Structure 1
Amino acid sequence: MGKLKINIVIAGRTYPLSVNNTKEEEGMRKAANSINKLISMYEQNYAVSDKQDVLAMCALQFASKVEISSIEKDSTNREVVNKIKELTKIVNSCLK
């Protein structure tokens, strides 16, 4: 199956894109919808006159969510590794 050609509208501008499958298309459309909702929220709640400023604020919000999630995941992974090490010590001590 070849690439699908789709058009995505963000901040009133249309962007032609190629996607590999319908799942990727759905993801792109949902992402564009989320961006457009966030743009509307910023325009309603803040005195922002330039679309570029609004888009930069959206990019910062989405990027910060990814970074926060990554930090939380790293913290969780460290906790899991530490628990495994503790359990390994307990098991090893019981086997001796």
Structure 2
Amino acid sequence: MGEISIKINIADRVYPLKVNMEEEEIIRRAAKLINDRIKEYQENYAVRDKQDLLSMCVLHYATSSLKADKKVTTDDTEVAEKVYQLDHLLTDFFSKQ
């Protein structure tokens, strides 16, 4: 697939981008999530400065990303431990045959 030119609006600013066609939907959804989060912050807090709103938004998504990374790492460790235990059980079982 080729690249296409799109315009993304974030915090009332337009950003022209060249993206792969298969990434367009994800990028548009990401921009919508950012704008929705900014709107939520505007409505719930006495913050009007776009820079502050964007900073709060970035902090939110960076925190979410780090939490997800930590969960994946924890889950991977738990799965590896279970596989090790299963391997040990199977080795014991077949060695007694």
Instruction: Tell me the TM-score normalised to structure 2 length.
Output: 0.92
SS in 2 for 1:4: strand
| Alpha-carbon distance in 1 for matches of 2:20, 2:87 | 45
| Alpha-carbon distance in 2 for matches of 1:35, 1:25 | 15
2:59 equivalent to 1:71: no
Find the counterpart in structure 1 of residue 10 from structure 2: 10
CA shift at 1:49, angstroms?
2.4
Find the counterpart in structure 2 of residue 87 from structure 1: 86
Unaligned runs of 5+ in 1: none
Residues 25-77 of structure 1: CA distance to partner in whole angstroms, max 9, x if unpaired? 11111111110000000000011121111001101111111111110011111
Instruction: Tell me the TM-score normalised to structure 1 length.
Output: 0.93
Find the counterpart in structure 1 of residue 26 from structure 2: 27
| Alpha-carbon distance in 1 for matches of 2:29, 2:87 | 44
SS in 2 for 1:18: strand
Unaligned runs of 5+ in 2: none
SS in 2 for 1:47: coil
The alignment's C-alpha RMSD in Å is 1.1
4+ residue runs of structure 1 moved beyond 4 angstroms? none
Equivalent AA in structure 2 for residue 16 of structure 1: P
Give the paired residue count. Answer: 95
| Alpha-carbon distance in 2 for matches of 1:50, 1:41 | 14
SS in 1 for 2:48: coil
Among all aligned residue pairs of Structure 1 and Structure 2, give the percentage whose two residues are the same amino acid. 41
